[in-house]
């Protein structure tokens, strides 16, 4: 038998047998003479036989093509089913394995042939058996595809996490079958667990840091209060000694008293700012909002800063502000804010420089107040550290007094903000009515 004959179907063989029988019958009739065929009839029969032969050969070619296509599809099916990255199982209604691909056999550590007729629940971790039976119950009751995650056990006793999807069908005789898809998700489960542990550790660290920060703020607040009382006494006695007339302090004593007063006032200001900082960080800073005319508050601040500006030969240039502009905020904190910005503009300026205050409307109920100075400004790197407590941006070893807290404790009214541009121009946005 050649290759072509190997691909002949039963139908083609039957057609050949029928054609052969028909020709044999015609020749038998001619030989018996009962119904002798004429020469033309014999030629006609031979012609019909050749036509049938050609038709059979064409059918044979078509069948061979279909057979090759089936072989290719069978090979594709093998790749898709047997070598799929996930495991496929077919289970009987009782839970026995009827069919399995190579992937699931590899996952479970068994030969595929050995899996057949094995109870599927044998490979499910005992602690997850209830979850599996609940999965089956939902599957049977709903008839819809169900999915779940559970732990499975290999032949060697190793455990892995699997994602399982199952659906119900019926075979040719109406028996119910379960088709199951299994994928190993152990890596994803372990990664999720690691991320949860890291998130929990980070949350605990944040809570610990917040607790420590509150404890620090509470400590600073208590210490500030404790230090102010004896410091006020020192300043009081120093002022009495400086004002004494009988006996009057000697010039040397006057210099020492002035040093005590200067250091005392500086220390008192530092303690006050630390107290404000601790209140802000602990969330205990109380504000007393009221309607404040901005023009008045700016005029008061300019008057308080003017002596410092005169001492440093700095010209204050404050634009005229419409007296109809009001802001709802704490008067003391707003005054503190403007004093800090103006004093910084004066202290870190150049001799003969200027501090300019201008205004611009930026919305229906917002006003931008910009404080510019002619000083050296700050580099982009220093700007990122501008609002850090006690960070004087390299000026701590200079001759200019300061604590590095002024801008940090700056408090703005609701809806306002403090910002600084790349040229180190201080700006404040405030609401107005």
Would you say 344 and 358 are in contact if contact means Cβ atoms under 8 Å apart? no
Domain CATH number, residue 175: 3.30.450.20
Of the candidates 313, 377, 401, the residue with the CA atom closest to the CA atom of residue 351: 313
Mean pLDDT of 225-242: 79
366 phi/psi in degrees, rounded to 5 = -130, 145
Same domain, 296 and 410: yes
Instruction: Report helix angle 186-243 to 251-282, nearest 10.
Output: 150
Region 29-35: mean pLDDT is 51
Contacts of residue 257, defined as CB under 8 A and 6 or more positions apart, other chains included, come to 238, 241, 242, 249
CB 191 within 8 A of CB 163: no
What does pTM read for this prediction?
0.43
Residue 277 pLDDT exceeds 70: no
Does residue 399 sit in the same domain as residue 303? yes
My answer on whether 316 and 424 are in the same domain is yes
Which range, of 77-81, 141-145, 358-362, averages the lowest pLDDT? 77-81
> Is 178 found in the same domain as 58?
no
Does 125 or 408 have the greater pLDDT score? 125
Q: Report residue 399 as tokens.
A: 């001759």
Domain extent, residue 73, equals 3-82
Contact 124, 136 (CB under 8 A): no
Higher pLDDT, 55 or 90: 90
According to DSSP, the residues that pair with 46 across neighbouring strands are none
Contact 197, 220 (CB under 8 A): no
Domain of 229, CATH number, reads: 1.10.287
Residues with Cβ within 8 Å of residue 429, at least 6 apart in sequence: 362, 366, 367, 368, 369, 412, 416, 417, 418, 419
Based on the fold, state whether residues 387 and 293 are members of the same structural domain: yes
Tally of domains in the chain: 4
Mean pLDDT lowest among 210-219, 233-242, 290-299 = 210-219
Please provide residue 426's backbone torsions phi and psi, each rounded to the nearest 5 degrees: -75, 135
**Are both 353 and 297 inside the same structural domain?**
yes
Q: Are residues 145 and 264 in the same domain?
A: no
* Strand-strand pairing, 354-363 and 315-318: parallel
pLDDT tens-digit map of 307-331: 888 888 889 888 888 888 888 887 8
Looking at residue 334, its pLDDT comes to: 81
Last residue of a domain, one of 282, 297, 326: 282
pLDDT single digits (tens) 183-195: 999 999 999 999 9
Q: Is 388 helix (H, G, I), strand (E, B) or coil?
A: coil
* Residue 276 and residue 304 in one domain: no
Task: Return the bridge partners of 124, or none.
Answer: 152
* Same domain as 116, residue 22: no
- The CATH code of the domain that includes 350 is 3.30.565.10
* Strand extents, DSSP E, 154-216: 159-170, 176-184
Q: Do 295 and 427 share a structural domain?
A: yes
């Amino acid at each position: 038998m050649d290759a072509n004959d190997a691909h002949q179907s039963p139908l083609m063989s039957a057609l050949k047998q029928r054609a052969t029988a028909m020709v044999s019958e015609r020749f038998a009739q001619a030989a018996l003479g009962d119904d002798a065929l004429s020469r033309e009839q014999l030629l006609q029969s031979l012609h019909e036989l050749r036509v049938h032969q050609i038709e059979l050969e064409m059918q044979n070619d078509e069948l061979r093509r279909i057979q090759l296509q089936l072989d290719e599809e069978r090979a594709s099916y093998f790749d898709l089913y047997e070598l799929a990255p996930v495991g496929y199982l077919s289970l009987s209604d009782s839970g026995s394995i009827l069919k399995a691909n190579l992937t699931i056999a590899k996952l479970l550590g068994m030969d595929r042939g050995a899996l057949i007729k094995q109870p599927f629940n044998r490979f499910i971790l005992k602690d997850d058996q209830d979850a599996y039976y609940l999965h089956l119950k939902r599957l049977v009751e709903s008839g819809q595809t169900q999915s779940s995650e559970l732990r499975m056990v290999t032949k060697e006793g190793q455990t892995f996490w699997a994602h399982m999807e199952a659906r119900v069908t019926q075979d040719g005789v109406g028996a119910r079958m379960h088709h199951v898809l299994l994928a190993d998700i152990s890596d994803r489960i372990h990664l999720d667990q690691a991320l949860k542990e890291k998130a929990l550790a980070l949350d605990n660290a944040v809570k610990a840091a917040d607790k420590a920060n509150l404890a620090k703020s509470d400590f600073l607040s208590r210490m500030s209060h404790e230090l102010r009382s004896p410091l006020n006494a020192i300043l009081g006695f120093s002022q009495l000694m400086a004002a004494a007339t009988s006996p009057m302090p000697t010039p040397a004593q006057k210099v020492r008293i002035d040093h005590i007063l200067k250091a005392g006032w500086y220390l008192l200001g530092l303690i006050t700012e630390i107290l404000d900082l601790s209140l802000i960080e602990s969330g205990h800073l109380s504000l007393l909002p009221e309607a404040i005319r901005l023009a008045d508050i700016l005029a008061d601040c300019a008057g308080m800063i003017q002596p410092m500006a005169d001492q440093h030969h700095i010209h204050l240039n404050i634009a005229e502000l419409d007296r109809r502009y009001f802001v709802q905020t704490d008067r003391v904190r707003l005054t503190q804010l403007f004093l800090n910005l103006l004093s910084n503009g004066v202290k870190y300026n150049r001799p003969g420089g200027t501090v300019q205050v201008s205004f611009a409307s930026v919305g229906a109920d917002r006003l931008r107040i910009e404080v510019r100075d002619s000083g050296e400004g700050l580099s982009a790197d220093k700007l990122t550290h501008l609002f850090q407590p006690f960070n004087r941006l390299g000026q701590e070893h200079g001759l200019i007094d300061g604590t590095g807290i002024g801008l940090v404790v700056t408090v703005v009214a609701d809806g306002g903000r403090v910002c600084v541009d790349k040229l180190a121009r201080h700006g404040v946005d405030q609401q107005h009515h």
